[in-house]
A and B are shown apart, each in its own frame.
Chain A
Amino acid sequence: MSVVKQDPRNSTALTGNEAVAQAMRQIEPDVVAAYPITPQTEIVQIFSTYVSDGLVNTEYVPVESEHSAMSATVGSAASGARSMTATSANGLALMWEILYIASGTRLPIVMPVVNRALSGPINIHCDHSDAMGARDSGWIQLFSENAQEAYDNMFQAVRIAEHPDVRLPAMVCLDGFIISHGMENVFTLEDNAIREFIGDYMIERSLLDVEQPMTLGPLDLQDFYFEHKRAEAEAMVRSKKVIQSIAEEYEKLSGRSYGLFEEYKLDDAEIAIVVLGSTAGTARYTIDQLRAQGIKVGMLKLRVFRPFPFEELKQALAHVNVIGVMDRADSFSSIGGPLFSELRAVMYDSETRPLITNYIYGLGGRDINPRLIEQMVRELADVQEAGRLNQYVNYLGVRE
């Protein structure tokens, strides 16, 4: 979302978790099955009070683990109910087995993921290692810069996941503590407008449809498994268009524009920062300061990590000389983080071949501030000057 100045008097001061819980109230899923984990806990705690206060007509299932949360969500989604859960970090890791069953069974579950570092060592603060661990699980992944985007992404995720061309589960990622526990101005929409936007949950067939009995999740061996996976891959390809058209529809409703990514001062940039999540806001601030000093730096903030919008990224970044890819997760591949690996692969057949280097930062909630981003941009300017890279992977803000 580009920063549009709205009158703050029309806003509500909400934390990211409050905004997401509010969105869930407005979506009013048929079933929510969840288990608490820091920093996601408030979402399901607040939502459970909506249930007990009778504000939503949702069946709330307090399960005994995240494995069970995702299993119950899969079961209820398969039976024909709009179903949601929410988690963070180790909770998401514990769901791992069932994440693939949700996507492989083509169940349009929506799940906020409050990004937190995976243990060990144990840590409760933000990084993207949890979501990146699930990047190959067949889920759509939307990242949010702030509480407003987390709120807006929730409704769009419902529409994307349930779209007949897609039928895949979707994660709405928001940065733990930084966004989940930070209070900001959020411009909410009326309940009626949301109800109209998301519509009724219509899937063509479900387990409880007694007119059309069906089996779901049976053994699928050499004969058809491959075809089903091929279809799943194709659904992910098709989702890109759906994501864009739903964003356009949402803009008409909210006045806030979304896409696959957002470009900030990128048009005439020589140096580009590519980033996910809340750091984009800090980068925006830093870019303004560096632009005032005559440094031609811009940003590409990726909103949609799955599907990975490779053609659009290649085009948007073709004109820059140097790209600094910021990863809030390491992949321990010895050649950088996941966003870097994928973006570098995309740029391989770009005719202009910008120099591209990786900055791993902010692991376990390490603060990322304008000073560090400026340091990175100055190093990227040196790379531009030299016309070659010193190294592929840099660690930003770590004690070496």
Chain B
Amino acid sequence: MAEMLEIRWHGRGGQGAKTAALLFAEAAAAAGKFIQAFPEYGPERMGAPVISYNRVSEEPITLHSGIESPQYVAVLDPSFVGSVDFTAGVPDGGVIIINTGDTPAEMRNRMGLKNMSIRLCTVDASAIAQDTIGRAIPNTPMLGAIVKATGTLDLETVLVDVESKMKKKFRDKPEIVQGNVDAIRRAYEEVVSE
């Protein structure tokens, strides 16, 4: 079995964790990868914790089970610290990317994360989204941060794909499309790693 990339997205209902996983999968497929994106459905309520997943591989993916040990975790809401264990199952060498204005060191301290084999990254995705899109919806900037952290996809390919998908969805609102593209690029450039 060739190496398979597994990602888990944590967000709150309405923050777009599901959409981020779908966009990432679509961009990866366009770049010639085999992909999966699937949400974990519980009761759907605005603001409730939600999870979605990605698998990316060079080979066809046949697994249809949940993901228990993701190498990458994207946390769309820093308020999960202390309430949702988003480090669960992350193996040594894993990477957690958190939407926060704090530095990775500050975040590690707040989380009380002792395992130095797990790398923390931070990016102020909400602030970037506010600047570029006009609303603090952190999913597309977090997509940029994930693209940077995983290094599996070329940023420009992702931007082209996201732009074409969004153009269809927001036919009458070109500013939203451009805002999202800018958000992805900025987060890609601004994400800070330990």
Interface membership of B48, Cβ < 8 A: no
Q: Mark A240-284, 1 if CB is under 8 A from B, else 0.
A: 000000000000000000000000000000000000001111101
With A11-B29, A13-B26 already in contact, the answer to whether A281 and B35 are too (CB < 8 A) is no
Considering only residues 92-142 of chain A, those with a C-beta below 8 Å from chain B are 124-125
Considering only residues 126-168 of chain A, those with a C-beta below 8 Å from chain B are 145-146
With A9-B30, A185-B35, A285-B1 already in contact, the answer to whether A177 and B65 are too (CB < 8 A) is no
* Contact status A185-B65, CB under 8 Å: no
A145 to B60, CA, bound (A): 13
A280 to B22, CA, bound (A): 24
Interface size on A, residues (CB 8 A): 34
Interface membership of B32, Cβ < 8 A: yes
* Contact status B60-A183, CB under 8 Å: no
Q: Which residues of B contact A179 (CB under 8 A)?
A: 64
* Contact status B33-A282, CB under 8 Å: no
Interface membership of B59, Cβ < 8 A: yes
Residue of B nearest to A179 (CB): B64
A384 to B38, CA, bound (A): 37
Max chain A C-beta neighbours (<10 A), residue from B1, B21, B63, B68: B63
Q: Which residues of A contact B63 (CB under 8 A)?
A: 281-282, 285, 370
With A281-B62, A281-B64, A370-B63 already in contact, the answer to whether A181 and B38 are too (CB < 8 A) is yes
Interface membership of B25, Cβ < 8 A: yes
Interface membership of B180, Cβ < 8 A: no
Q: Which residues of B contact A369 (CB under 8 A)?
A: 65-66, 68
Q: How far is the CB of B33 from chain A (nearest CB, A)?
A: 6
Q: Which residues of A contact B66 (CB under 8 A)?
A: 367, 369
Residue in contact with B29 in the complex, picked from A12, A279, A282, CB distance below 8 Å: A12
Q: Which residues of B contact A5 (CB under 8 A)?
A: 59-60
* Contact status B26-A368, CB under 8 Å: no
Interface membership of B61, Cβ < 8 A: yes
A397 to B153, CA, bound (A): 36
Max chain A C-beta neighbours (<10 A), residue from B22, B26, B60: B60
Considering only residues 1-26 of chain B, those with a C-beta below 8 Å from chain A are 1, 21-22, 25-26
Interface membership of A182, Cβ < 8 A: yes
Q: Which residues of A contact B62 (CB under 8 A)?
A: 3, 145-146, 280-282, 284-285
Q: Which residues of A contact B59 (CB under 8 A)?
A: 5
* Contact status B65-A183, CB under 8 Å: no
Q: Mark A359-384, 1 if CB is under 8 A from B, else 0.
A: 00000000111100000000000000
Q: Mark A4-40, 1 if CB is under 8 A from B, else 0.
A: 0101110111000000000000000000000000000
Residue in contact with B26 in the complex, picked from A183, A278, A370, CB distance below 8 Å: A183
* Contact status A367-B65, CB under 8 Å: yes
* Contact status B38-A185, CB under 8 Å: no
Q: Mark B58-85, 1 if CB is under 8 A from A, else 0.
A: 0111111110100000000000000000
* Contact status B29-A185, CB under 8 Å: yes
Residue in contact with A3 in the complex, picked from B1, B41, B60, CB distance below 8 Å: B60
Residue of B nearest to A5 (CB): B60
Interface membership of B179, Cβ < 8 A: no
Q: Mark A279-294, 1 if CB is under 8 A from B, else 0.
A: 1111011001100000
With A285-B63, A369-B68 already in contact, the answer to whether A183 and B37 are too (CB < 8 A) is yes
Q: How far is the CB of A375 from chain B (nearest CB, A)?
A: 13
Interface membership of B86, Cβ < 8 A: no
Interface membership of A323, Cβ < 8 A: no
Residue in contact with A368 in the complex, picked from B32, B60, B65, CB distance below 8 Å: B65
A175 to B66, CA, bound (A): 14
A179 to B25, CA, bound (A): 15
Residue in contact with B22 in the complex, picked from A183, A289, A367, CB distance below 8 Å: A183
Max chain B C-beta neighbours (<10 A), residue from A8, A11, A125: A8
Q: Which residues of B contact A7 (CB under 8 A)?
A: 32
Interface membership of A59, Cβ < 8 A: no
* Contact status A183-B64, CB under 8 Å: no
* Contact status A13-B64, CB under 8 Å: no
Q: Which 10 pairs across A and B sit closest by C-beta, in order of nearness?
A: A281-B62, A369-B65, A182-B38, A13-B29, A183-B37, A278-B64, A13-B26, A9-B32, A367-B66, A284-B62
* A–B Cβ pairs within 8 angstroms, 17 of them: A7-B32, A8-B33, A9-B31, A9-B32, A13-B26, A13-B37, A178-B64, A182-B37, A183-B21, A183-B26, A184-B36, A279-B64, A282-B63, A282-B64, A282-B65, A288-B1, A370-B63
